[in-house]
Structure 1
Amino acid sequence: MSYEMIALMMFSSLVMLLITGQRFFGAVGFVAAASSLLLWGNGGAEMPFNAAIVLLNWYPLLTLPLFIFMGYILSESGIASDLYKMFHVFMGPIPGGLALGTIVLMVAISAMNGLSVAGMAIGSSIALPEMLKRGYDKKMISGVIQAGSSLGIMIPPSIVLVLYGMIARQPVSQLWLAGVFPGLLLAVMFAVYILVRCKLQPDMGPALPAEERDMPRAEKLRLLGAGVMPLFIIFSVTGLFMMGVTNLVESSAVGAAAAMIAAAVKGRLSRKVMSNALHDTLGVSCMFMWIIMAALSFGAVFDGLGAVNAIKSLFIENWGLSPWGVLIMMQLSYIVMGMFLDDTAMLVIVAPLYIPLIIQLGFNPVWYGVLYTITCQIAYMTPPFGYNLFLMKAMAPKEITLMDIYASIVPFVIIMTAGLALIMLFPSIATFLPDLYFAR
């Protein structure tokens, strides 16, 4: 049997197991272990074992539970809710001001959390009711929350970039820095679209009436203080890291401590908050560790089969694609897979094939990590089965229909595609900051 046929059978087996409803890491790990035993006999059992040792010996893995814990503390303690109240008052006079405030909130949550699901949950529970109450168009509301929450996997401390770094064996610190400007670029593009759209169509996002914004100066100053805690947390994570005071692992520990201090200062660090945050952190961290171990096992089998060279031969020799053509084909495949799978699943399935090929073709794997992450953001919002579409449907009230949700993402997907094209044409948008920082 040819290596190509073996690779095809592995993918087919994986898809069949996923269709039956098996847990993702179990399906991937089983296919990897079974394939290695069938191909190389008893010695093949060493592959999953070695993958586990590689995972446990990888020092930056310590960042994963700490950043997840930090995000859950912020969510449970209500610090994000305080921040949105501040945007409500200070950005309300602008047409589409609450939508703009939601984007800024999502950027702040991304810089404190690193998970898009957290942004979606916070946006749906805090921003969505406020915008609905004030007559915002349903499509504007849904699109803003979905697009804004997707920034969570781009802006550091991005958990997705940490996972990419583990699987691709690239420095997480460089990936984080590479995600800063692209993430902010997308946020600015979203904000410009909202401003222009609400200026041309005021009914899409009406400004708040003056009576809602009139309040004593002392009350406004108190609200302004709500932004201090998030700034303190963001500085403790990325600020100290950028200054060279802390390394990657230390910054995650400092961030977790800062989140606890902020919750304590607010008087919200209760036993219940800690219990919920620790319980959720343990569950999510264990899930990610199993997924990474399964991915490493799967990748080891593919490396042994020489599948990377087979894919390269298919794209370049058989199809006659240029290196840029290969890159575009990869991005399109991510978008198709994103209609059915989440970002971690996509990364596990194709990273063992694509990342070595990207390096062979002469592309920067750190820059490609940013392209992969933006493509995941687009795939999250692509019908029919985009991950964010169904999260939004599950969290939104009945008056926001699935067709509203589908229609709402069209302009934002176009904006994100334009952003992806810009970063492909001008790689320095992603590479400038890590090059500058590590040149010191």
Structure 2
Amino acid sequence: MSGSGQTGRIGEALAEPLVARLVDERDEPIAGQTISFVVTSGGGSAFAGAGTTNSDGYVRERWTLGMTTAEPQKVEARMVDSGTGEARVLAEFTATALPGPAVGLRVAPSSPSTGPAGGTATLAVEVLDAHGNRVPDVQVGWERVTADATPAAATSVSGADGVARMDWALSGTIGTAGAAATLGQVRASLSISIMPGPGVRFEHVVTELVGGAPGGKPAVAPNFRVFDAFGHATSTDVTLTVLEGGGHLALEGNPTRATVRTTSLGWLVEDACVPGSCNPLQGNSYWVLGPTPGRNVLAATLANGEEIRFTTYAQAPMAAFARRDDGQPNGWIDWERDVLTFRVHACQTDTSFRRTLQVGDRISEIVFRQGIPYFDAPVHLEATPCHWVAQVDVTGLPPPWTVTLRAEDAGNASSTETVKVARCTDNRIQLCPVP
């Protein structure tokens, strides 16, 4: 047998014929036997399709390759034994089909549709012949279409797989970047959506948190927002680690360390989940404090090492406590009526409790009895739990004002906080703390 293993261009006849020889068990040639040549793969054709062995047992055929390089090119030499009727495959011939000249471009499936702000993306195109076969060793040009992406070089050459690739540097601006690949007059347009990059910093963080009962959860769970290097809020992995207090995370298995992912807006909220198993954080209270009273610390860490630590205290249950929102006076003065208005954080673990806001001898008070508020002064609840608004008329009381916040439960347990405030300089609305 000869003629197998040749290489030729698609749609063209191979240079050498296919040759098969038929012999008997004594290696003597068999003449006059009809041999068929059948294409079994690649879509090519045999010129005659069959031939008869000569006196030396040889038969020859011409093979034209098919139009594809995507599958093997194969031909079998077959016969039917005239004595037994047995169908026999005498030989298999193979060949390698080469693509035709490059005439087109197509965006490769591997070419990404998104990339990180300030990062890189490798765009790719397939170089094609007239029959859609990929063509190697062809130079392709690359052009910028928008200013948000820049190629590493002006040209690249398609590899053995017929794909030309180019690394593009992406800007820090969120949006769609345009690019083009060229082959002579042929042009393929590509685009890539620039997305927020990896998280590098935290914002909107309050690290000193209102505590809770041992073995319970803080009254306010740790929360934050993550941004990339260009100031874009980003969905990114964050590692939470319980560092102190003996608590754990409210995830499957009660781990003390887990990696969660922020939302597309960068917040760590209830739909953050552990990559892979995607265990949801339980509400926004995903940190369970240690079983004994004392300090508890939780760390949140980004891939670049940026870290924040949240601190709170597990303490014996108390039916009432009060503090200023975010550790700031967070109030304002109504200039026309000389009324101080304060937003106050005040949660309860009991249905009966009292809140008071006092300035000098002026007092605003709200009392809850079995969860129902009774107003003894111009005080009202806000829509969000654990917050209320109180107002005190300070007509005739010159600033600065010493404001006392007090919380009491039905068993007379209480907490108190005092802050001194005055009108901010050149500001007729906002209050400012006074030493």
Q: State TM-score, norm by structure 1.
A: 0.23
Instruction: Give the structure with the higher percent strand.
Output: 2
Question: Which protein has greater RCO, CA pairs closer than 8 Å, 6+ apart?
Answer: 1
Instruction: Give the structure with the higher percent helix.
Output: 1
Q: State TM-score, norm by structure 2.
A: 0.23
Higher Cα Rg, which structure: 2
